[in-house]
């Protein structure tokens, strides 16, 4: 009986360790930091060169395309929603590519990319605007 | 109306609590009248919720913008169809729809099982009633869908988001909810069995059909969500591992595990604790998924908005579910002991066991990945996220292991497989697998993972074909019919097994689609007028951009001529449209997809159109085999349907019939299957060349307004607006009638002659029978009222007439029915 338990225990241990090892290794290159703009801006140097997911709101009327109708976007992102009294930290963002349909001024966005000295550089396909979800926050319903 | 709705919700809550309390009391005191009263009250909740739903739909139909919910999700120009579907379009309404479905399903389940599982019924009623109470409580105190504006009522609503005004999106949520809500019924029976200690396998029989039904709808809902993402969102894929998608997938894994392990319990009386845990977990995950997506706990690009109050209420409910259910399981552990042990690891039950572990692991893994940001914030104080590559890295091997088990499981014998029958069983499937693997490698497809996936698909297919042929041959020898009849008879004799094999075939097709995504191509082109670009076998040429306007939206449409291997094959029209009232948003992408079984060509027009030089940026995808996923779902649904059908449906093949009749039947069945699978929605082909020509006179203008396009996909737009080819044709028919100098009614009659009905009219002629269409909500309401009355009468009648001590008596027909049922299940 004891031998059986030892066998089972050993199998579980080996499998468990193997899984944990695999998990750890895949998790390490799979993760990105998810940060609000304010958290990053208070200590910028610490975040330079790290893969980030940055959460914020597009500053109204800040979207600018360098040539007429090109795919190069420059816009500003602030920490707080546009309707808030204080905008919070603001950063300028550059991106080349196709933006989602829901991307616009005031939109809540999550940007994947890197923090550089010139601002936030979004990696390809790294703009995620809020999905056209039906479950919108109550604040908009009175509009 | 709003106050009536609120009142109905409150009344349902009261009736529900009564039903729960009385049922438990009745069961404990063994009092038949109390139990009956509880059941009656339970039926009443379904009636009340039906009336409340009718009130809500009525509010949408009559544009009652005093109700906030209506004002938020509808507006006056919204097509009728989307007005009705807006009922479940938002958070508050979706909770109400949830309770409505649950009350209907609960009533059905209780009604069907009231005699067979008499001892379980009171607790089933109590469990479902408590779940309903929770959601009703949410509505009454926190998210009342009937909340009205306290200040000025808006003149018009906000309207449903244009991206959601899509056919798939309208039927996706109810299907998913049906799956989610359906999982409550097995849970209720499980709890009832645990409480009463009737833990033999009879409760399983009561719930396995329900689980299958709920599972089918869950799968359907997930598939619809994928189709929507693929057709509308324009990123070329269908699954992004977003928390909202994952929420639907979690219970799917555990429900699938349960559908398999339930067989082990029926056959070998093993895994009894495991099954109970799976049922509880599945139910818990449906609630958890709802919680995750509605309360803002998990940050997602899907904006659900933070709602701490909702999060708190849900947390309390979930903790209560877990404590209560698992407390019961621990309390009943002695009764749940397995009656058999695993004889060998080379047996079917072992394969099922491994399949279950893998499925559960997949569920836990997805749960972990989805909750990872929240977990990492709680533990490390840093919000870290994991993205699609992480999920893919893990779920590709998991999927392949599952596919492997799907192929191997049916080949193994119960209890223990001998080396001899292993050889016999594995010879042909093994050969098929090896050949496919060799062939894919020779074609240059990488072994990991598409090559392996194709090989395993071959394995599963070979297994299934072998099973059908062997079984069919045995039966053919025994009954002396032809092979086709024998196979249908075989399926009829053991619907779950062979239906299950067909489901597996569907899964194989879905996996083919997944494997195809391994060789997906994606490219971005900047094309001047008449420039060409090549992706895969396709050459795309920019023939220019046009702008058109149909009243509801303004569209920029690119004309792309596509040629394959040098031969021109088609013109495609990817575009972007800006909707009225949504001008401040980025234009909606109108994806152009050219479907074929081998590969889809998927074109997206980027927003940087230069109208002056007609230069565009085109994002092109080639998605191989993607359509097999949707086809696979069709096969899967067909298989589940076979497993769900009652025996009677197969009686024709079970009796010995003349061969001709059987063959005819097979042809009919095959035709039915093919029509179901290859049914392609009629395309609402927006032909940008079509502009609405001005009307000739006032009569024509009036008639155009009264008639709607009949193409079937455009929400029945009026002929004054619709620009599709069908509408164009209808306009010319109308012009011909006008030119003949006919009057208003004459023309309508002529059109009725052409179309064989009034479906071309925007509104049915307000006469006689047609008024019924408008009466629908009222009829629905009246039905509810009648049902209440009926329930009340029946209920009072029963409790008055039935003497208290009848609970133990079983009248003969009921006993017979139950016996019959049990005997049938022994097969």
DSSP, res B147: -
Q: What does the angle CA B88 – CA B94 – CA B95 come to, to the nearest 5 degrees?
A: 155
**Residue range A79-101, pLDDT digits in tens:** 887 777 777 888 888 888 877 77
Element spanning B395, H or E: helix B388-408
Q: What is the pLDDT of residue B796?
A: 54
Q: How confident is residue B269, by pLDDT bands cut at 50, 70 and 90? A: confident
**Residue range B142-187, pLDDT digits in tens:** 889 998 888 778 888 777 777 777 777 778 888 999 999 999 999 9
What distance lies between CA B224 and its chain's CA centroid? 7
Q: Is A25 on the interface with B (CB under 8 A)?
A: no
Q: Across the interface, which of B242, B299, B586 has its CB nearest the CB of A104?
A: B586
- Residue B589 in contact with residue B576, Cβ under 8 Å? yes
B196 or A137: whose pLDDT is higher? B196
Q: Rounded mean pLDDT of B81-94?
A: 85
Decide if B373 and A34 are in contact by the 8 Å CB cutoff: yes
Residue B690 has pLDDT above 70, yes or no: no
204-233 of B, contacting A, C-beta below 8 A = 233
Show residues of chain A in contact with B617, CB under 8 Å: 71, 98
Q: How confident is residue B85, by pLDDT bands cut at 50, 70 and 90? A: confident
Structure tokens at B413: 């014998």
Which segment of B387-391, B462-466, B521-525 scores lowest on mean pLDDT? B387-391
Q: What does the angle CA B650 – CA B652 – CA B655 come to, to the nearest 5 degrees?
A: 105
Tell the residue number behind the tokens 């708190």, with chain if given: B312
Decide if A135 and B72 are in contact by the 8 Å CB cutoff: no
Q: Rounded mean pLDDT of B45-51?
A: 96
List Cβ neighbours of B465 (8 Å cut-off, separation of 6 or more). none
Cα B50 from Cα B255, distance rounded (Å): 28
Q: Across the interface, which of B68, B91, B303 has its CB nearest the CB of A131?
A: B303
Q: Across the interface, which of B72, B387, B588 has its CB nearest the CB of A30?
A: B387
Q: Is A1 on the interface with B (CB under 8 A)?
A: no
Exposure of B201 by Cβ count < 10 A (0-12 exposed, 13-18 middle, 19+ buried)?
A: middle
Decide if B387 and A32 are in contact by the 8 Å CB cutoff: yes
Q: What is the pLDDT of residue B661?
A: 52
Decide if B387 and A138 are in contact by the 8 Å CB cutoff: no
Residue A50 has pLDDT above 90, yes or no: no
Q: What is the pLDDT of residue B563?
A: 92
Sign of CA dihedral B813, B818, B824, B827: negative
3-state secondary structure of B809: coil
Q: Across the interface, which of A27, A70, A108 has its CB nearest the CB of B303?
A: A108
Q: Is A134 on the interface with B (CB under 8 A)?
A: yes
Cα B498 from Cα B753, distance rounded (Å): 47
**Contacts for B386-392 with beta carbons within 8 Å, 24 or more apart?**
B386/A27, B386/A30, B386/A31, B386/A32, B387/A30, B387/A32, B387/B241, B388/B240, B388/B241, B389/A30, B390/A26, B390/A27, B390/A30, B390/A31, B391/B241, B391/B366, B392/B241
B555 or B633: whose pLDDT is higher? B633
65-94 of B, contacting A, C-beta below 8 A = 68, 71-73, 89-91, 94
Q: Where are the beta strands (DSSP E) in A1-143?
A: 31-36, 52-58, 64-65, 72-78, 90-96, 108-116, 119-129
Show residues of chain B in contact with A55, CB under 8 Å: 299
B369 or B551: whose pLDDT is higher? B369
Q: Determine the residue among A21, A38, A98 to mutate to test chain B binding: the one whose Cβ has the most chain B Cβ atoms within 10 Å.
A: A98
Q: What backbone phi and psi angles, to 5 degrees, belong to B14?
A: -65, -45
Show residues of chain A in contact with B233, CB under 8 Å: 100-101
Which of A41-45, B86-90, B616-620 is the most confident on average? Answer: B616-620
Q: What is the pLDDT of residue B655?
A: 54
Q: What does the angle CA B328 – CA B329 – CA B331 come to, to the nearest 5 degrees?
A: 60
Cα A126 from Cα A62, distance rounded (Å): 18
Asked whether the ipTM of the predicted complex exceeds the cut of 0.85, the reply is no
Q: Rounded mean pLDDT of A13-31?
A: 81
Show residues of chain B in contact with A110, CB under 8 Å: 299, 301
B720 or B430: whose pLDDT is higher? B430
Which segment of B148-152, B672-676, B791-795 scores lowest on mean pLDDT? B672-676
What distance lies between CA B30 and its chain's CA centroid? 40
Q: What is the pLDDT of residue A66?
A: 64
pTM of the model: 0.78
Q: What is the pLDDT of residue B723?
A: 66
Beta bridge partners of A8: none
Q: DSSP characters for B17-50? A: HHHHHHHHHHHHHT-HHHHHHHHHHHHHHHHHHH
Decide if A135 and B617 are in contact by the 8 Å CB cutoff: no
Show residues of chain A in contact with B305, CB under 8 Å: 135-139
B42 or B156: whose pLDDT is higher? B42
Q: Rounded mean pLDDT of A35-40?
A: 82
Residue B786 has pLDDT above 90, yes or no: no
């Amino acid at each position: 009986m004891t031998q059986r338990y030892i066998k089972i225990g050993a199998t579980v241990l080996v499998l468990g360790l193997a899984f944990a090892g695999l998990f750890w290794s895949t998790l390490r290159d799979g993760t990105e930091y998810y940060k609000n703009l304010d958290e990053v801006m208070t200590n910028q140097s610490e975040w330079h060169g790290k893969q980030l997911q940055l959460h914020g709101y597009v500053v109204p009327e800040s979207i600018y395309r360098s040539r007429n109708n090109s795919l190069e976007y420059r816009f500003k992102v602030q920490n707080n929603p546009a309707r808030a009294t204080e905008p919070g930290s603001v950063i300028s963002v550059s991106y080349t590519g196709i933006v989602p349909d829901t991307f616009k001024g005031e939109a809540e966005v999550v940007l994947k990319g890197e923090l550089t000295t010139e601002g936030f550089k979004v990696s390809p396909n790294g703009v995620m605007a809020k999905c056209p979800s039906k479950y919108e926050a109550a604040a908009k319903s009175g509009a | 109306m709003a106050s009536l709705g609120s009142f109905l919700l409150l009344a349902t809550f009261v009736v529900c609590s009564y039903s729960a309390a009385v049922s438990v009391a009745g069961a404990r005191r063994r009092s038949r009248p109390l139990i009956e009263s509880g059941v009656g009250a339970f039926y009443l909740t379904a009636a009340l919720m039906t009336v409340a739903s009718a009130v809500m739909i009525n509010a949408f139909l009559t544009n009652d913008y005093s109700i906030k919910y209506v004002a938020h999700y509808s507006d006056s120009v919204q097509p009728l169809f989307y007005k009705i579907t807006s009922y479940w379009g938002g958070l508050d309404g979706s909770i109400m729809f949830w309770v409505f479905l649950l009350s209907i399903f609960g009533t059905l389940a209780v009604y069907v099982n009231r005699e067979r599982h008499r001892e379980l019924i009171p607790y089933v009623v109590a469990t479902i009633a408590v779940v309903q109470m929770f959601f009703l409580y949410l509505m009454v105190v926190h998210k009342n869908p009937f909340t009205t504006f306290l200040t000025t009522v808006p003149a018009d609503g906000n309207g449903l988001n244009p991206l959601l005004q899509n056919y798939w999106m309208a039927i996706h949520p109810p299907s998913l909810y049906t799956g989610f809500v359906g999982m409550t019924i097995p849970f209720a029976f499980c709890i009832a069995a645990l409480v009463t200690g009737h833990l033999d396998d009879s409760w399983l029989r009561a719930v396995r059909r329900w689980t299958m039904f709920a599972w089918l709808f869950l799968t359907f809902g997930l598939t619809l969500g994928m189709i929507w993402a693929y057709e509308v969102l324009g990123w070329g894929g269908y699954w992004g591992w977003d928390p909202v998608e994952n929420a639907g997938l979690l219970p799917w894994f555990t429900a699938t595990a349960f559908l398999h392990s339930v067989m082990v319990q029926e056959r070998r009386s093993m895994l009894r604790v495991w099954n109970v845990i799976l049922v509880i977990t599945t139910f818990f995950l449906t609630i958890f998924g709802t919680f995750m997506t509605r309360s803002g706990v998990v940050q997602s690009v899907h904006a659900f908005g933070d709602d701490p109050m909702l999060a708190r209420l849900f947390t309390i409910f979930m903790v209560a579910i877990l404590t209560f259910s698992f407390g019961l399981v621990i309390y009943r552990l002695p009764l749940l002991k397995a009656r058999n042990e695993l004889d060998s690891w080379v047996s079917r039950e072992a394969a099922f066991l491994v399949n279950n572990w893998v499925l559960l692991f997949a569920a836990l893994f997805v749960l972990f990945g989805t909750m990872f940001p929240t977990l990492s914030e709680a533990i490390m104080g840093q919000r870290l996220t994991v993205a699609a590559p992480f999920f893919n890295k893990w779920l590709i091997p998991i999927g392949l292991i599952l596919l492997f088990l799907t192929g191997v499981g049916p080949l193994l014998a119960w209890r223990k497989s001998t080396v001899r029958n292993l050889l016999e069983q594995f010879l042909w499937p093994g050969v098929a697998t090896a050949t496919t693997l060799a062939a894919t490698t020779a074609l240059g497809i990488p072994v990991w993972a598409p090559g392996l996936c194709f090989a395993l698909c071959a394995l599963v297919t070979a297994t299934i074909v072998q099973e059908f042929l062997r079984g069919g041959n045995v039966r053919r020898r025994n009954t002396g019919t032809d092979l086709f009849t024998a196979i249908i008879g075989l399926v009829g004799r053991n619907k779950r097994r062979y239906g299950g094999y067909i489901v597996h075939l569907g899964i194989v097709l879905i996996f083919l689609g997944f494997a195809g995504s391994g060789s997906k191509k994606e490219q971005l082109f900047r094309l001047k007028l008449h420039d060409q670009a090549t992706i895969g076998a396709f050459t795309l040429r920019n023939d220019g951009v046009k702008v058109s306007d149909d009243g509801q939206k303004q569209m920029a449409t690119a004309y792309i001529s596509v040629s394959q291997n040098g031969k021109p094959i088609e013109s495609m029209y990817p575009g972007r449209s800006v909707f009225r009232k949504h001008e401040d948003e980025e234009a909606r992408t109108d994806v152009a997809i050219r479907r074929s079984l081998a590969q889809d060509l998927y074109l997206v027009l980027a927003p940087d159109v230069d109208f002056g030089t007609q230069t565009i940026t085109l994002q092109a995808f080639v998605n191989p085999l993607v359509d097999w996923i949707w086809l696979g779902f069709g096969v899967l649904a067909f298989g589940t349907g076979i497993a769900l059908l009652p025996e009677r449906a197969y009686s024709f093949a079970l009796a010995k019939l003349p061969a001709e009749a059987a063959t005819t039947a097979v042809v009919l069945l095959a035709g039915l299957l093919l029509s179901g699978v290859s049914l392609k929605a009629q395309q609402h082909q927006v032909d940008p060349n079509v502009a609405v020509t001005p009307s000739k006179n006032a009569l024509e203008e009036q008639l155009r307004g009264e008639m709607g396009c009949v193409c079937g996909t455009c929400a029945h737009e009026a002929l004054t607006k619709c620009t599709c080819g069908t509408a164009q044709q209808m306009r010319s028919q109308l012009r011909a009638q006008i030119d003949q100098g006919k009057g208003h009614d004459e023309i309508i009659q002529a059109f009725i002659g052409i179309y064989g009905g009034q479906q071309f009219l925007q509104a049915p002629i307000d006469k006689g029978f047609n008024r019924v269409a408008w009466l629908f909500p009222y009829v629905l309401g009246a039905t509810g009222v009648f049902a209440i009355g009926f329930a009340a009468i029946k209920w009072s009648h029963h409790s008055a007439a039935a003497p208290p001590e009848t609970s133990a008596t079983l009248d003969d027909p009921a006993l017979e029915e139950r016996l019959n049922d049990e005997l049938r299940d022994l097969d």
